[in-house]
Amino acid sequence: MPDDPILGLNELFKTDERPEKVNLGVGCYLTEAGNLPLLDVVEEAETRLSEKKLPHGYMPMSGIPKFCEAVKHLVFGEASPAVVEGRITTIQTLGGTGALQLGAAFAHQYLGVAKAVVSDPTWGNHIAIFKGDGLTVSKYPYLNAAKDGVDFEAMIAALNEVEEGSLVLFHACCHNPTGVDLSHEEWRKVLEVVKARDLLPLLDMAYQGFGDGLEEDAFAMRLFAESGIRFMAATSCSKNFALYGERVGALHVVCGDKREAEVATSILKALVRAEYSNPPAHGANVVAEVLGDPELKKRWFKDVVEMHDRICEMRRALAEAGEAEGADLSFATKQKGMFSFTGLTPEEMDRLREEFAVYGVRNGRICVAGLNHRNVGYVAKAMATVLKAR
Ligand code: PLP
């Protein structure tokens, strides 16, 4: 079986001895110094937790209640009618991946959903997860021919053809791998189709805060919740809390009313029980501690703004350095979030790696958060050289 294209790339990168090497294949936010951050607020929450000297007991199957409440509020807003009416059940999961898996299992085993539809392109694991849960997977068009925006007409036309009742995966913000998101107006149109065709949306939000901000990135979630439709949402604290290895995420099932949400909770708990029994404690306790303390929460908001601003700065720096090299790298400033689609072919991405030690995914995706002021000029020059050979 071939290596995962992204993880395999990291292995290759590690063994590359060229000092100028740059890893843009990663799926993590890196600091200007090129390191994974340990957020101050996470460190402080961990100190507080260790001082409590808690024993390592089992967690509830649905997760730590304080964590679930806090992330529900972060995603949908505390005052959201759906939250206030108790229509949303939130279950702690093994990262965003675990949320997607649990959501797919719930849809297939309990709701009898047989088909899933994902954007073309999408994060590769979506397809693997859904297939693993017994769903057949097809794609709806997403990217336009110039690869710098959404082909919205084609997307809507395809969604109108999707079999009623199918699960449809949407990226709520910071589309991975393209960095191209829908406008508010486009989301409203998508919602109309979802309603008309009785589709079951699963909104994936792994990068809340990295696109336009914590509140702004939740636009689609809140729009769908306010519309009264039933849908699911998978969210993750891996990136915005830099808690990658702690596996902290949540599945939210937005139901018709409180009673339905209670039924959904008991079904989700039964699925969890059979799969892994109960979730890990540490990461979720850290998030609950940060979001439960107004002062820490305020500082975390600032941390997210800082990560967001650094990504935007690197986008600008790449486009400017490209211009100085005579190459159009303006895709970087048109797109949002941690990833960008360069529009480079697999062969051009190979050349970047082989000749310049610049590592990106063969589909043309680069992680903008892997750029810093020391390497951005070099990367722009390498890309310009490859582009000029066209
Ligand atoms: N969804 C998308 C689009 C992602 O890119 C990722 C991670 O890269 C995830 C979900 C899952 O994140 P986690 O590490 O929390 O499982």
* Interval between CA 197 and ligand 1 midpoint (Å): 28
Whether 353 has a pLDDT exceeding 80, the answer reads: yes
pLDDT of residue 6: 74
What number does the ligand 1 atom closest to the CA of 247 have?
15
Beta bridge partners of 93: 249
Does ligand 1 lie within 6 Å of residue 283's CB atom? no
115 forms beta bridges with 136
Question: Is the peptide bond between 65 and the residue preceding it cis, with omega within 30 degrees of 0?
Answer: no
SS3 340: strand
Ligand 1 pocket, residue 177 CB under 6 Å: no
CA of 17 relative to ligand 1 center, distance in Å: 29
Using a 6 Å cutoff on CB, does residue 204 contact ligand 1?
yes
Residue 176 Cβ contacting ligand 1 at under 6 Å: yes
**CB of 289 closer than 6 angstroms to any ligand 1 atom:** no
Index of the ligand 1 atom closest to the CA of residue 98: 16
pLDDT at 202 over 80: yes
Residue 95 near residue 123, CB atoms below 8 Å: no
The residues pairing with 233 across neighbouring beta strands, listed in sequence order, are 203, 252
What's the rounded mean pLDDT across residues 174-191?
97
Q: Where are the domains of the chain?
A: 5-30+309-388, 47-292
- Can you say whether the dihedral through the CA atoms of 42, 376, 123, 207 is positive or negative? positive
DSSP letter, residue 23: E
Residue 70 CA to residue 88 CA, distance in Å, equals: 13
pLDDT value of position 7: 72
- The residue among 285, 295, 297 whose CA lies nearest residue 66 is 285
Question: Do 320 and 382 form a contact (C-beta atoms < 8 A)?
Answer: no
Q: Closest ligand 1 atom to the C-alpha of 236?
A: 15
**What is the pLDDT, as a whole number, of residue 273?**
97
Choose which residue among 125, 207, 241, 368 to substitute to test ligand 1 binding: the one with the highest number of ligand atoms within 8 A of its C-beta: 125
Supply the pLDDT for residue 26: 86
128 alpha carbon – ligand 1 mean position (Å):
13
pLDDT at 8: 82
- Residues involved in catalysis: 123, 204, 239
Lowest mean pLDDT among 8-22, 178-192, 306-320: 8-22
Q: Does 178 sit in the ligand 1 pocket, CB within 6 Å?
A: no
Q: Quick check: CB of 322 below 6 Å from ligand 1? A: no
**pLDDT (tens digit per residue) in 45-88:** 999 999 999 999 999 999 999 999 999 999 999 999 999 999 99
Q: What is the mean pLDDT of residues 129-157?
A: 95
Of residues 145, 150, 147, 146, the one with CA closest to residue 189: 150
**Does the beta carbon of 238 sit less than 6 angstroms from any atom of ligand 1?**
yes
Looking at the CA of residue 238, tell me the nearest atom of ligand 1: 15
pLDDT exceeds 90 at position 233 = yes
What pLDDT does 3 receive? 57
Mutate to test the pocket of ligand 1, among 102, 176, 205 (most ligand atoms within 8 A of CB): 176
CB of 170 closer than 6 angstroms to any ligand 1 atom: no
77 lines ligand 1 (CB under 6 A): no
pLDDT at 197 (0 to 100): 96
Long-range contacts of 219-223 (CB under 8 A, 24+ apart): 219/173, 219/184, 219/187, 220/170, 220/172, 220/173, 220/182, 220/187, 221/75, 221/76, 221/172, 222/76, 222/77, 222/80, 223/184, 223/187, 223/188, 223/191
The pLDDT value given to residue 148: 82
Ligand 1 touching residue 375 (CB < 6 A): no
Mean pLDDT for 263-290 is: 98
Q: Are 90 and 252 in contact (CB under 8 A)?
A: yes
CA–CA separation, 263 and 275 (whole Å): 19
In the prediction, which pLDDT does 327 show? 96
Q: Which fold has domain 5-30+309-388?
A: Aspartate Aminotransferase, domain 1 (3.90.1150)
Q: What gap in Å lies between CA 256 and CA 196, rounded to an integer?
A: 17
Q: What is the CA radius of gyration of the chain?
A: 21
* C-alpha of residue 206 to centroid of ligand 1, in Å: 5
Each residue's pLDDT tens digit, 217-230: 999 999 999 999 99
Asked if pLDDT for residue 2 goes beyond 80, the answer is: no
Q: Are residues 204 and 126 in contact, defined by beta-carbon separation less than 8 angstroms?
A: yes
pTM given for the model? 0.96
Q: What's the 97 CA to ligand 1 centre distance in angstroms?
A: 6
- Atom in ligand 1 nearest the alpha carbon of residue 123: 3
CA atoms within 13 A on the CB side of 329: 31
Nearest alpha carbon to residue 211 among 171, 245, 238: 171
ipTM exceeds 0.85, yes or no: yes
Q: In this structure, are residues 367 and 26 in contact, taking their beta carbons and an 8 Å threshold?
A: yes
Q: What is the 3-state secondary structure (H, E, C) of 73-142?
A: HHHHCCCCHHHHCCCEEEEEECHHHHHHHHHHHHHHHHCCCCEEEEEECCCHHHHHHHHHCCCEEEEEEC
pLDDT for position 146:
83
For the domain bounded by 47-292, which CATH number is listed? 3.40.640.10
Distance (Å) from CA 125 to ligand 1 centroid: 8
Between the CA of 93 and the centroid of ligand 1 the distance, in Å, is: 12
